[in-house]
Amino acid sequence: MKQRITQLQIAELSSEQTDKLRSRWKPQEGDYIAIGDHEEMIYYLNGVDRIKSLPLLNVGQILQFLSEHGRIHAMHQDDREWVVNDRYRAGELCDALWQALIDCL
């Protein structure tokens, strides 16, 4: 099971969406972030440059974000696909949740 989004998924966001994601992101030690073309884990919050980095959100973080914004209504597995809010479908739960989050941005 895929645990977090990838740099490729982050790269698909518009500049407006990345700005919104950064403004709503609360960095925590242990989070993974994308900086340019590489990724790393946050060990110390003091070292996080929020202007240059974006979060590689995990399933729990995406669920929390959607829940806080009233955007998660239903999730289920249909055959081999995950379905979120009867609209977003993907083979991985993380990817279906990410699709729902993108619409929030």
Would you say residue 59 lies in a domain? yes
**pLDDT, mean over the chain:** 93
Q: Give the tens place of pLDDT for each residue, 26-73.
A: 899 999 999 988 899 999 888 788 889 999 999 999 999 999 999 989
Rounded to the nearest 5 degrees, what angle is found at the Cα of 80, between the Cα atoms of 39 and 99? 45
- Read off the tokens for 24: 């709503």
Q: Give pTM, 2 decimals.
A: 0.91
Calpha distance 93→97 (Å, rounded) = 6
Full residue range of the structural domain in which residue 86 is found: 7-104
What are the Cα distances from residue 93, in Å, to 18, 26, 45?
Answer: 22, 22, 28
Would you say residue 2 lies in a domain? no
Rounded to a whole number, what is the distance in angstroms from the first to the last CA of the chain?
Answer: 25
pLDDT > 90? residue 77: yes
Would you say residue 28 lies in a domain? yes
How many domains in the chain? 1
